[in-house]
Amino acid sequence: MHKPASDNAQDIHSSGLKATWPRIRILRLFQQTTQRHLSAEDVYRSLLADGEEIGLATIYRVLTQFEQARLLTRHYFESGKAVYELNEGQHHDHLVCMMCGRVEEFCDPEIERLQQQIAERRGFELREHALSLYGVCSNPACQAKARAESRG
């Protein structure tokens, strides 16, 4: 879903931030990229490839501001490196390949139901939750690397 810059400016303004060019450009990148989870370095490289010279410090600052404004959601997958995705208001969980870092999003009603039951049995009222499952994807290179590591 591509949005014109004016809509991006409105989204930014609605979140309580001033619609500066770096903010508009970074939000547009998240809205237009096919890669759903981006690190600050990914954003920097992508903008540089598009001829945009926005400094890494500015990118970090904008990502933090967008997270605080709930435009983006931050995750720490197995690498320990922060990655961000658009906060589209729909809950989902993640499968993460421990070999290549590929992230697959999913939502399973049975898992959601079980998490709710577990919380209730333990006297909790769920407000939010995140589930990340780590494994090895079906990519032959990842499979071979995992086999080599298990022998190693």
Q: Which residues are annotated as a binding site for Fe cation?
A: 91, 93, 112, 129
The residue behind tokens 């780590």 is 134
Cα four-point dihedral sign 116, 120, 122, 123:
positive
Nearest to 20 by CA among 68, 54, 44: 54
CA distance 63 to 60: 5
What phi, psi does 106 have (nearest 5°)? Answer: -155, 160
Q: Count the alpha carbons within 13 Å of 117 in the hemisphere toward its beta carbon.
A: 6
Annotated binding-site positions? 91, 93, 97, 100, 112, 129, 137, 142
- CA–CA distance from 117 to each of 31, 43, 132, 139 (Å)? 35, 39, 19, 35
Annotated binding-site positions for Zn(2+)? 97, 100, 137, 142
CA distance 121 to 129: 16
